[in-house]
Amino acid sequence: MTANPPIARPKLILASASPRRLALLQQAGLEADALLPADIDETPFRGESPRSYAIRIASEKASAAAKVRATHPELKDSFLIAADTVVSVGRRILPKAETAEEAEECLRLLSGRQHRVYSAVSLVTPRGAERKRLVEARLRFKRLSSTEIEAYLATGEWRGKAGGYAIQERAGAFLVKLVGSYSAVVGLPLYETVSMLAGEGYPVLAPWFAMA
């Protein structure tokens, strides 16, 4: 049997500095050639729904990163992925907690009740076309005691996390039920991301053959 010939792979940009999103890409066998985190205003519009907000922010991150891509000739023919993850209770968008007080407020709100996580992905092709997908997951946390909240706050894992928690870390012990994509809750829905890349001609399976 002859080995599969190597396939020329276009470069892939992740418009994020998130180690979680990078690790998820790597889980699917994909390597980012460049990280271009986008610095944009993430303030929700008045009355904006969590769904619309997630899609808008992912798209704005992609647009900002694409402008940077255009200034790097070596990245001209690359694919670009941007994503945003939003935690909501009803129509209320929970913040990316930056203080222990914010995180505590989020955890008390999530305690014992169902909430939703919306994860949006924006893909910009080498020719500048944009493709977008939105994934919704429903989760329910156990009723949290004050001691459990205090202990979780002490870990610092809440810092910068939407809704004040990271499901892939110790907060996973609070999860009673999840309906939907686990990877979307972590920060990047793998099925949708890989499907969009494949649909645009990116050789998503080429690295898998290289491992044989």
Tokens linked to 15 = 């418009």
CA 50/CA 139 separation, integer angstroms: 15
With vertex at residue 179, the alpha carbon angle to CA 101 and CA 102, rounded to the nearest 5 degrees, is 5
| Share in percent of the chain as helix, strand, coil (round to 5) | 35, 25, 40
**3-state class of 125 per DSSP?**
coil
Give the DSSP H or E segment for 108. helix 100-110
Residue 77 catalytic?
Answer: no
Residues 6 or more apart whose CB falls under 8 angstroms from that of 77 comprise 10, 11, 126
Active-site residue, selected from the candidate residues 33, 39, 41, 84: 84
Tokens linked to 44 = 């929700």
**Under a CB-based contact definition with an 8 Å cutoff, are residues 120 and 132 in contact?**
yes
Q: What is the DSSP letter of 145?
A: P
Q: At what angle do helices 146-155 and 100-110 cross, to 10 degrees?
A: 140
Query: Which residue, 77, 61, 72, is CA-closest to 14?
Result: 61
Instruction: Catalogue the active-site residues.
Output: 84
